[in-house]
């Protein structure tokens, strides 16, 4: 059942018909005052519709309006969910880090096996055991520098000065 206010609003809007209209008009204590109020309310409604109608937007205003509405929807969604979601969440960062470490280990193992250090060269052993002939090469000096870096990585530099010719045992094999 409708309240008096609902029936009055429907009467002003012209939505009451038939038996309901007759019953409502009969229940009014002062019909002339009610009719005057109805006309005033209809004038007010027409005035508000005319003055508060949606203004057409120019392209720039319409675009800005759309952006503002989208921002408002985003903020409403964030308020509902409680947090702001980003692409770089903690689980994604963990997976990316684990993948990067796995790829690094895989490639490191592949290249280390491919470029495994060889044992000492037979030429170096031969040079270390040789002696310079003082008659043939009186001013010859041989200096050797060895450097041992990380683990098995060794560098040997052989510095010769005043050597006119190499002995026959150094011929290429």
**The model scores a pTM over 0.85:** no
Sign of CA dihedral 111, 114, 116, 118: negative
Give the pLDDT mean for 1-16. Answer: 84
Domain ranges of the chain: 4-51, 87-116, 122-170
Q: What pLDDT, in 10s, does the model give residues 123-171?
A: 555 555 556 667 776 777 766 666 666 666 666 666 677 666 666 666 5
Out of 18-27, 48-57, 103-112, least confident range: 48-57
Q: Cα 135 to chain center, whole Å?
A: 76
Helix (H, G, I), strand (E, B) or coil at 44: helix
What gap in Å lies between CA 28 and CA 4, rounded to an integer? 10
Whether the predicted pLDDT of 103 surpasses 90: yes
Is the pLDDT at 94 greater than 90? The verdict is yes
Confidence of residue 118 (pLDDT cuts 50, 70, 90): low
Strand partners for 148: 154
Residue 5: predicted pLDDT: 87
What local confidence, expressed as pLDDT, does residue 66 receive? Answer: 80
Evaluate if residue 34 carries a pLDDT over 70: yes
Q: State the pLDDT at residue 45.
A: 87
Q: What integer is the mean pLDDT of 62-67?
A: 77
Q: What angle do CA 52, 56, 58 make, to 5 degrees?
A: 140
The SS3 call for residue 123 is helix
Token pair in block for residue 129: 């055991």
Residue 29 has what DSSP assignment?
S
Average pLDDT over residues 105-115: 78
Q: In this predicted structure, what is the pLDDT of residue 1?
A: 60
Name the burial class of residue 103, with classes exposed (0-12), middle (13-18) and buried (19+) by CB atoms within 10 angstroms of its CB: exposed
């Amino acid at each position: 059942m409708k309240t008096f206010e609902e029936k009055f609003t429907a009467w002003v809007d012209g939505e009451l018909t038939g038996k309901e209209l007759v019953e409502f008009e009969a229940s009014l204590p002062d019909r002339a005052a009610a009719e005057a109020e109805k006309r005033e309310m209809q004038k007010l409604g027409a005035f508000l519709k005319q003055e508060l109608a949606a203004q057409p937007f120019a392209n720039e205003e319409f675009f800005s309006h759309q952006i503002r509405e989208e921002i408002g929807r985003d903020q409403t969604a964030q308020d509902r969910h409680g947090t702001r979601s980003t692409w770089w969440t903690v689980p994604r960062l963990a997976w990316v880090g684990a993948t990067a470490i796995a790829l690094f280990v895989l490639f490191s193992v592949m290249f280390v096996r491919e470029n495994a250090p060889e044992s000492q060269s037979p030429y170096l052993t031969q040079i270390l055991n040789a002696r310079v002939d003082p008659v043939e090469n009186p001013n010859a000096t041989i200096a050797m520098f060895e450097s041992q870096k990380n683990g098995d990585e060794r560098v040997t530099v052989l510095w010769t000065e005043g050597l006119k010719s190499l002995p026959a045992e150094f011929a290429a094999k």
